[in-house]
Structure 1
């Protein structure tokens, strides 16, 4: 009888010990992802095991950037590729642990803003990865000079000719925002987004002269008093400061290139010759501005903190056109044109994009990693073909039946 009791107690104790053992920890494991490459916002299936069935309990990262998870099972997560995340490992974390999966190849989105003729009128549009999106209906002629992208929102700035009046506007996701009163000519040349604020630089006729100004969320801020002609061309926002480039005439007539910081003007030229400032970049404590001075010797140039850097091509100092400037570290890039050749300069050294046999333009430049993107056009004998160049290789945006002028490019 004692032996039976001992055996029963032993079995009870053994059974109690088994019940007290903790459940095994199920850590996440990634076995595959599909697809393995894609653009921002592409939905990716992450396959494996050990995922939480509660969406919010799964933290997914692409190359270290947190992604939005839309659905979850224990074996599959669906997540969107974060904007500007770049290429790198996919990671899943739960309360139980973390796992690294295969590497994902990030393909950036390429946005190009501009205009294309429909045979009778110029239509405002942008191209996303080569696919055109019209923002105007072709009833009136439109000119687009600038593009900005923030999140999933696409902004274009320019003007629309309504009757005999040029109306300053910007478009957000195809919805127009009228900036001028539509009674006198007005133009928009550049747009910048800072958080939820929209800044547009341009000019508006006051009945006597053009006034340089910018609009913040549709409210105009005049930079000149309207007694002499002036224009605002480029705009940049840095640390809450508003920088605008442009030109203002002297009473005697010559145009002075200048920029305004929070409305305070700084002249870049002395007024001996016509000059104008176009694009601006603020990098740390340095201010870079592209423009020109028509002194008969040097035309295209950029200024760094007010100091002139002349640009030339094949020994020719009279460069025909200068446009956007961008900066990466200590490297300075400027897009432009000499005679028929579209080109850009890197630290003052010209890099031609076309061979000079057909008239071509380079209007905008953007740097993405080690890649250099330039937007412009080239005449094909019939029309100007809209295109961009990636590291010198051309990608056509239009079929060449009608004129097209891309003026801005953004890659992210």
Structure 2
């Protein structure tokens, strides 16, 4: 009997304990979340959920992003879960958590961001202190979230948005890759890009490569201008009849050639200028039209770097004022050429050769030349030759010493159209807006547009003659510009309404002249 009593007591105790076990398994504690660290990341990143009442069995912990985006739990302790962020679109996601059979709780918010990319960088060369611009995606608008280094040395970030960042190359930096880290994530280059190698070069008084500079000119230069061998600018202003020289450093007027300085003809009472150019030996020459008591006169003259004017020869005055000629160049053969018209679509002008005996002849008939550039032994021509209400078909061509013409390409130039932007790509399908001028640099054509206020490059080294933008604000906004930035990086500078472009090969700078008297100097690589 005593034995049966003990057995009965053990049975009751066993039944109670079994009940406790079953009851304990069903009463799972609700998890508690204190924090999520980090709470920003990209797909594949790991985050930590820190709190209590988690299961040490990984499969017992279920983590969901938003609705139906399960995440993989890679490690679990009673107080920490390590979770991999799943593939999901950018934005703030609600993180939900369930442990065993507990109720599902809202654990917090996790922001998913795509990895940053760099699509371009400019400039790619310059001295310490150069401002560079990185374009791309998924940058942080908070400056401190972004870290830029050049060859391992921290650069100073000036301004940043989600897609554009400007930074300054630091002192002591050496040539090498420019890297960007956003919230600890390394930015990747787009496929095929190698924009992020920066070359350190010595500082130049002509400016930092990739930067544009406003020159404060006191006069408005006209179309045909020149650069002397020291890098100074020379131009003739038809309105006040003066020849001007501007310093390349600060734009101040160093020399104003007056009538009194033209000692070979003291009868002149006034004069204006068609243009000024440099010959193949580096000497400056001008074509001037003067007035005197005995009538109109015209001369081709030489100008020294100090502004001394001497007569090359007396010549013919084209047009009633001598100013209907639009351009003036001297070939490597010494032949002096101008035009007998402006070269607009309704003006079928010719290239005219001015002879030293005072006569002239037609050098090339039907040129319709809007702008002329001598490059080595060839003459490059911008030609307007078909006008329609809103567009003009144009042509780039060149003439050799035998006047054999070689066509380069046929883009369009839009005129007087309020909604035209521009089209890059192969030259024959490119669109310009009021293309007024061009120059040659490093064997390629650089164009200037007055309406778009852009400089673009025609790459003559490519089979399709690719057209790309070099400088000017993009995307285009109708003029007058709502903002004015006359000094800055190529892609963030307001250029003048371009009427003339010049390239100084010796100092690797380009000058853009505008209708409004503004001049911009651009330091090329």
Q: TM-score of the superposition, structure 1-length normalised?
A: 0.46
Larger radius of gyration between Structure 1 and Structure 2: 2
